[in-house]
Chain A
Amino acid sequence: MARQLIRLAGVGKNYRKGRELVRVLEGITLGIEEGDFVGLMGPSGSGKTTLLNLLGGLDKPTRGDVEVDGKTISKLSSGALAKWRASNIGFIFQFYNLLPVLTAARNVGLPLLLTSLSASQRRKHVNTALQLVGLADRAKHYPRELSGGQEQRVAIARAIVSDPPILLCDEPTGDLDRATADEIMSLLQRLNRDYGKTIVMVTHDPRAASFAHRVLHLDKGELSKKPVDLH
């Protein structure tokens, strides 16, 4: 049995909306093993993005602890968290979030600016990542010159370029047509299977979810007990 990479124990998250307290997540206890591919589904507003942000150290829980690779990240300062994210997490967003003023290659290279790699080493890593997503020939293109599917592949290259163990995807196929979505899902599957990336993916699309090893359901801030098996 593989090692537990991510552990959440009794995690809750509140937001304050004016004077009102919104309980978004409640009593989340969860373990994710290294090399797992987890789908996360649930109705809109159920707290999927919030949970993903807690796993990725973009936000801190109100209660409970988030532990990744033996480190309690919910106790880190925001400066330490930023550093931790740079080497441990690759984010993939629904709308790609590429920087329009940068070419594909430069977008992919952004996370490497946070490392001590030399310019030529960075170029090599960027090439490898772009090759892996099948876009080596688009390195010099700007995001506006790419299709949605290509943009998402550039975003995936950016997420993996510094070789983080964990990829967190928030509706990565939400803005793509079916065929393109399948391409993206195969790519994620390959990253999980061949490169050992641990993936947590939020999705509304059962078809995309079927690529995951298992699917968790979030409802009104709680993980539902019923196990879902799409295989």
Chain B
Amino acid sequence: MFGWLTQTAALSALNLRSLPRRPGTAAVAMSGIAALTGVFAGVLSMASGFEKTMEGTGQEDVALVLRSGSTAELNSRFDGEQANVIRFAPGIARDAAGEPEVSAELFWIVNAVGKSSGTEANVALRGIQPNGYSLRNNYRLAEGREFTPGRFELIVGRGARNQFVGLEPGQTIRFGKTEWLVTGMFETGGSVFESELWCDVNVLQSAYQLGNGFQVVRARVDGPDGRLRLEEALGDDQRLSVDVWSEKQFYSDQAEDTAALITTIGLPVSVLMGIGAVFAALNAMYASIAARARELATLRAVGFGSFPTALATLLESVVLAFLGGVLGCAIAWFALNGFQASTLAASFSQVVFNFAVTPDLLARGIVAALIVGLVGGIFPAVRAATAQVTAALREL
């Protein structure tokens, strides 16, 4: 019992000591495993970063009123009269001036050129009402000034400014037939809204001849049962056919869909790379035991057992994989953590988010690497243990 433990330790030390004598195959295996771990951790951190952004968006006490059946702001629509009915419905909180804390908004898609890709992408241009600011958690003007109501002016979220060309405060940008002046840049604590451009909803209506139409009404609800009261009142109203969402729930539902999509695309890629990495590890380990066949046979002749020999080979493979995994994690960490990207979200507009390479994800990457090392090491370990000692000693 104790015997084979010390034997395994001694043999493993020997194996690892001779690793540098086979730098080629060991390096191939390690980089294969590093690439796998990096991609795996990258995909997971992309999904988790996206989820973090989405889940950081929305408040429990803000209700989102959309046309019945709409799962996105984009395909919802009301006229001004309906928006007014919602505005004065029960369950909505009042602001300091005694007015309902409501913002009827438009969610319009415009095209902007991505800084890194150089190609056009969908960006959300949101028309808001004055209460729109206070309805967003953590809204803060970071640069410049807010847009002047009634003018073709807009403010840009920090993420949108970073990802797209021509959105610096002071610049003008053309969407369709209209020139807009960028007056400032805002933040909302890293939430989805930072991927958007905001302007006066009435100006947006006239820019795109939308009449008095809206797509969504945001409202702060009054107390814990406010949303329920609002939902009941709107449900009873014959003039409306709407759904009332908790803003928080709305965004976290959207997050799940897109994160699942990222994962379903990313995981098969990881699995394919994993298979490649297993073969690289397999190859490295076969090369390792072939190169040291005589040494291993000599050790067996001296009295080392076959089980410790197998175990030590397996351990060598796992250590190789671990080193590769650590390398992959380091790459993922330094190259991806905080790396900003944008993706087309369920809202059909680009959502800017940061890769979130967390210790938890790195641990999962290491576990994937260790599994590769184990799987890749099993057959070589069996071969090392069952090799004929006399035959190996005969070979030169």
Asked if B177 CB lies within 8 Å of chain A CBs, one says no
Asked if A93 CB lies within 8 Å of chain B CBs, one says yes
Asked if B210 CB lies within 8 Å of chain A CBs, one says no
Q: Which of A69-89 contact B (CB under 8 A)?
A: 78-79, 82-83, 85-87
User: What residue in chain B is nearest A50 (Cβ atoms)?
Assistant: B390
A132 to B7, CA, bound (A): 26
B3: chain A residues at CB < 8 Å are 114
Measuring CB to CB, which residues of chain A are less than 8 angstroms from any residue of chain B? 49-50, 53, 56, 58-59, 78-79, 82-83, 85-87, 91, 93, 95, 97, 99-102, 110-111, 113-114, 158
Interchain CB contact (< 8 A) of B302 among A50, A78, A101, A111: A111
Measuring CB to CB, which residues of chain B are less than 8 angstroms from any residue of chain A? 3, 6-7, 10, 14, 17-18, 21, 294-295, 298-307, 389-390, 393-394, 396
Are B14 and A101 interface neighbours, CB within 8 A? yes
Among A53, A79, A82, A83: residue with most chain B CB under 10 A: A82
Are B301 and A58 interface neighbours, CB within 8 A? yes
A91 to B393, CA, bound (A): 11
A82 to B287, CA, bound (A): 25
Least CB distance, B1 to chain A, in whole angstroms: 12
Among B7, B389, B393: residue with most chain A CB under 10 A: B393
Tell me the dominant secondary structure on chain B's binding face. helix
A111 to B396, CA, bound (A): 23
User: What residue in chain B is nearest A97 (Cβ atoms)?
Assistant: B298
Q: A97-B294, A99-B14 are in contact. Are A59 and B301 (CB under 8 A)?
A: no
Least CB distance, A22 to chain B, in whole angstroms: 14
User: What residue in chain A is nearest B301 (Cβ atoms)?
Assistant: A91
Q: A58-B389, A59-B390, A82-B300 are in contact. Are A113 and B305 (CB under 8 A)?
A: no
Are A99 and B10 interface neighbours, CB within 8 A? no
Q: A59-B390, A97-B294 are in contact. Are A86 and B302 (CB under 8 A)?
A: yes
Are B303 and A85 interface neighbours, CB within 8 A? yes
Least CB distance, A72 to chain B, in whole angstroms: 19
B299: chain A residues at CB < 8 Å are 110
Are B17 and A91 interface neighbours, CB within 8 A? no
Among A78, A83, A113: residue with most chain B CB under 10 A: A113
A58 to B303, CA, bound (A): 10
Q: A101-B18, A101-B21 are in contact. Are A82 and B295 (CB under 8 A)?
A: no
Least CB distance, B124 to chain A, in whole angstroms: 62
B21: chain A residues at CB < 8 Å are 100-101
Are A114 and B394 interface neighbours, CB within 8 A? no
Least CB distance, A61 to chain B, in whole angstroms: 13
Query: Can you offer 20 A-B residue contacts whose CB atoms are under 8 A?
Result: A49-B394, A58-B301, A58-B389, A79-B306, A82-B306, A86-B302, A91-B298, A91-B301, A93-B298, A95-B396, A97-B298, A99-B14, A99-B298, A100-B18, A101-B17, A101-B18, A113-B6, A114-B7, A114-B302, A114-B303
Are B298 and A82 interface neighbours, CB within 8 A? no
Interchain CB contact (< 8 A) of B304 among A53, A56, A87, A114: A114
A82: chain B residues at CB < 8 Å are 300, 303-306
11 additional A-B pairs beyond A58-B389, A83-B305, beta carbons within 8 Å, are A50-B390, A58-B301, A59-B389, A78-B306, A82-B300, A85-B301, A85-B302, A99-B298, A110-B299, A114-B302, A114-B304
User: What residue in chain B is nearest A79 (Cβ atoms)?
Assistant: B305
B298: chain A residues at CB < 8 Å are 91, 93, 97, 99
